[in-house]
Amino acid sequence: MDWKKLKPKWKNKKPVHNLESEHEDLSTQDEMNPLQDEEDSAWMAAKKIQDPLNLFPDDPDWYPITIDRVWKDIMETRHLVSTQSLIEEIEDPPPSSVVCVNVHESYVIGKIVEVEKIIQDHSSVLKRLHYCAKASEIKRCPNPTCKSNQVSLERSLLGQSTWFTPIQDWLLQFFSCYLTSIKSNRQSVERRGHLAISICQILQLSRETRRNDPAAQQMLPDRVFYEFMMQITRSMSIYDPDPSARSLISTIYSGLQAPVIIFESDFSKAELQAAELGICKNRLWNVLSLSHRTWYSLPSLMMMVTKAGDDIAQFFKHTDTFGSTMSGPSSSGGIYGHQDCTADLCHFSSMDSTRVVQKHKCSSNTNDNFGCRRILFPEAIRNSAEHLIWNAIEYMDLPTPQIMPQLTQGTYIAISHVWSDGTGAGVEQDGHMNSCLFRYFSDIAIRLQCKGIWWDAISVPTERKLRAQTIRKMHLNYSLARYTVVHDEYLVRFPWANDGTPCLALLLSPWFSRGWTAVELAYSKNVKILFKDPENSGKPLIKDLERDVLANSPFCSLGHVLSSDIIRRLRSQTTNPQSLLWLIELLQTRSTSWPRDRVVIAALLAKVEPEVDVVDMQTHVTQQIITSFERIDMRFLFHGNSTIATSGLLSWCPSNLFFGNTDLYSQPHLGGQKQLRIDKNGKSAEGEFLVMSLSSAPENLQPVALHPSVSRKIQSTFTQMDDYLLATTSADGGVALIVKPMHILNDPKRCIICNWIGVVRGNFAESKWVSDVVIRFSEVQQTDDVLDNSPGWTASNLLRAYNEDHWNPNGLEVNNLYGTIPLRRGYCWNIKTAKWERGNLT
């Protein structure tokens, strides 16, 4: 091997002597450069790349020091893994190619690899991957099914590795034979996919994957390899017949993450590509925030768009313009588009969609009343029932539309749409609808063999009480429908293609950014989506969400899989409810025309029937939502917002819980793994904290406040520090709660009842905390076994009383006569019974 071909690019001087004689076999190279030596000097190699030394092989005082060996080893390793094939060729193929040559006994693919020994013997990720693949003895399989699988997998790959092709080809061969194996034998086979698990073990355990320096980057696989492994493990977690294997691989897939340095360059290119396509930044980042891989997903998503070609890519552009479809001037007085949007703000989402002119679907597509008959939906009929299903078949032959005789499951379609498209009531006279628009949806119903239509623009009553009842049960209109039909002009203009791009288009559509459509999607049993038919410019193409749009095959691209996972997670909300954190994260990516709708939407997604016609509806429904969970993350306690209550269970709950980002509870380290336990009766929430009195806290505490009222509330505690406690989940977290202790309660569990006051920052590293103190947020109830926070008592005394060793946790009695707390509560020691008793004893 010639050193000239391996030398770094920065060496602009040619070596005067050949170093080929100094090259050694890679197995002896590891002995000369042990793991510890290489790790300790890796940062020096990185520095050498960034700041070249002045010593070169042709300098008289040059000698091969450790950092030169590290760089040399990097180049030789990359050369090895990029040129040496890892698939064994078959000299004498079997007479029948029906059998897969890589399926060993018990349907295990390849030879069992001792991955622990490989990890121990080799120091870098590349070497470990190389020798693991080599030890598996995977052969080039002539089986027709395996070959067909390989072709389909190659088609799904989002890009080709630039230099890591041997192991990518090896992965293709292994996974192709694996898919053949599970197709021919659906029985549970232990260790069928052991090689994928071994590869993931190497990626997760390698120390190099956590380095963000140039030297380490040279010893890591590229992004394509990492994403192919994610695609493989994701498929195996679904399609492997063995339940235990699926569970194990699912856990591995969830934790498989590439180093940031591998994705940084590709992410920047993908972000630029999205901007050039005219994709709204806010909608794009909303999608990324819902993916379990967050921003790492973007290169996969945009590679899917690139593979689709320019004919499809151009339709991803968001062409909404503000003011062009409005009745009357916009508040800004101008027309502007999504180029003005930012990652955290879409101007279009705050648009008042009730002012949008009603759309025409007739051939003239005009926005006037000429040439298109108006249909009246009488108010008396609309206020006659909670659920109005309009007849979709006989509407043209009747003077006024007729409702279906009764609400019958499976006889109608429910329209899921966005009013900003002009498919709502609009600014027209109440109860009037363009006949062409009603005919458009009637035709869809007939094509789906349904007789009726539920459409919020004409089916929601106008009478106040009846309307409130309808909104409270809005989800039933979709769960009882035979089909929910999704209409969005962005999707109707998007040409259908069987490559996963329609799934991404659905995520980026205005429909997916609205709050109410989340409820409609979650509760619908069968969802049909309207796309543009590329072969017919007339009627839209009707596609089934589960069967056509979402990824349903191991041959789907990773971008398609990631897009589908976001939708499926929302779809499973009604059968497998997610956490409160997920519910908040979902609503932060969605908008509503009316702010009060957000808490109602949150309730329906939490499977709670909101009581919308009560006084202080927001507080009441929020309590309904929170108490529907058995546990919630403690991170929700750490925020700087005003709260919806000053005492009791919701004294900690921010008033904007479902309205937008809060500052601190988005940081998971604040609560750690700790959670608040919600009382089954919905009256209290409690958890274990580190606690100390506010008067013992370090100086220079800084309030965390996003509103002046919150700051004033915290500042007032500094004037009466003896009355408050500090509570936190981690002594070195840098933040703590200020709580107002009210009582010590012993039944059913010993705890301190508190009210949440606010959050402060400070240096608590050297503070002395009392651990495992149970704090309960609830209303105070006066009972005999409650210690009253009476005058003369301080927070320190209260905490000491809670922590007294001689205090009986089952009541107010103590084990000896030396306790002082009972005396202060009016108890005396009875020497005859050796017990504390209330009152003066004579």
Q: Output the DSSP codes for 516-564.
A: HHHHHHHH-SSEEEEEEETTEEEEEEEEEIIIIIS--STTS-HHHHHHH
Residue 737 has pLDDT above 90, yes or no: yes
In-domain check, residue 398: no
792 and 825 within one domain = no
How many independent structural domains does the chain possess?
Answer: 5
Residue 575, pLDDT > 70, answer yes
The Cβ of residue 367 has, within 10 Å, a number of other Cβ atoms equal to 15
- Boundary residue ending a domain (238, 258, 278): 258
Residues 608 and 750 in one domain: no
- Residues 45 and 115 grouped into a single domain: no
Q: Let me know whether 120 and 38 are in one domain.
A: no
Query: What letters, b where the CB count within 10 A reaches 16 and e where it falls short, cover 100-135?
Result: bbbbeeebbbbeebebeebbeebbbbbbbbbbbbbb
- Look-up of token digits 């109860």: 431
* Domain coverage including residue 789: 668-803
Within a domain: 576: no
**Residues 756 and 829 both lie in one domain:** no
For 764-807, the pLDDT digits (tens) are 888 889 888 999 998 876 543 444 445 557 888 888 888 774 34
Domain assignment present for 383 = no
Among candidate residues 826, 822, 742, 812, the one with its CA nearest the CA of residue 776: 742
* 683 and 601 belong to one structural domain: no
Mean pLDDT on 369-384? 74
Mean pLDDT calculated for residue range 471-495: 93
The CA-based dihedral angle spanning residues 659, 662, 667, 671, taken in that order and rounded to the nearest 10 degrees = -90
Q: CA separation (Å) from 663 to 293, 414, 654, 705?
A: 22, 38, 11, 9
Domain end (from 23, 53, 83): 83
Per-residue model confidence (pLDDT) at position 815:
45
pTM, two decimals, is 0.83
Concatenating the DSSP letter of every residue in 126-195 gives HHHHHHHHHHTT-B----HHHHHHHHHHHHH-SS--SS-HHHHHHHHHHHHHHHHHHHH--S--TTTTHH
Q: What is the mean pLDDT of residues 498-520?
A: 96
User: Nearest 5°: CA angle at 191, between 188 and 196?
Assistant: 120
Burial class (CB in 10 A: 0-12, 13-18, 19+), 749: exposed
Query: How many other C-beta atoms can be found within 10 angstroms of the C-beta atom of residue 154?
Result: 14
- What is the mean pLDDT of the segment spanning 567-578? 85
Least confident of 116-120, 325-329, 335-339: 325-329
Name the residue among 373, 375, 372, 409 with its Cα closest to residue 389. Answer: 409
Contact assessment for residue 591 and residue 513, using Cβ atoms and an 8 Å cutoff: yes
Residues 614-668: tens digit of each pLDDT: 888 888 899 999 999 999 988 889 999 999 988 888 999 988 888 755 555 556 5
680 within a domain of the structure (yes/no) = yes
> Is residue 781 in some structural domain?
yes
380: burial class by Cβ within 10 Å (0-12, 13-18, 19+)? exposed
Residue 3 has what pLDDT? Answer: 39
Asked whether residue 840 falls in the same domain as residue 706, the answer is no
Phi and psi at residue 2, to the nearest 5° = -90, 125
The separation between CA 597 and the C-alpha centre of its own chain, rounded to angstroms, equals 23
The pLDDT value given to residue 8: 43
* Tens-place pLDDT, residues 712-725: 999 999 999 999 99
Q: Are residues 59 and 135 in the same domain?
A: no
Which pLDDT belongs to residue 568?
95
Q: Is residue 125 part of a domain?
A: yes
714 and 787 share one domain: yes
Among 239, 258, 277, identify where a domain stops.
Answer: 258
The verdict on residue 97 lying in a domain is no
Q: The tokens 């609560």 sit on which residue?
A: 671
> Do 789 and 830 have their domain in common?
no
Q: Which helix (H) or strand (E) holds 760?
A: strand 751-761
The pLDDT of residue 351 is 73
What pLDDT score does 594 carry?
82
Residues 773 and 752 sit within 8 Å (Cβ to Cβ):
yes
Q: Verify that 63 and 152 share a domain, yes or no.
A: no
In a domain, 289, yes or no: no
Count the neighbouring beta carbons within 10 Å of the beta carbon of residue 209.
Answer: 20
Domain shared by 248 and 173, yes or no:
yes
Phi, psi of 60 (to 5 degrees): -65, -30
**786 near 802, Cβ under 8 Å?**
no
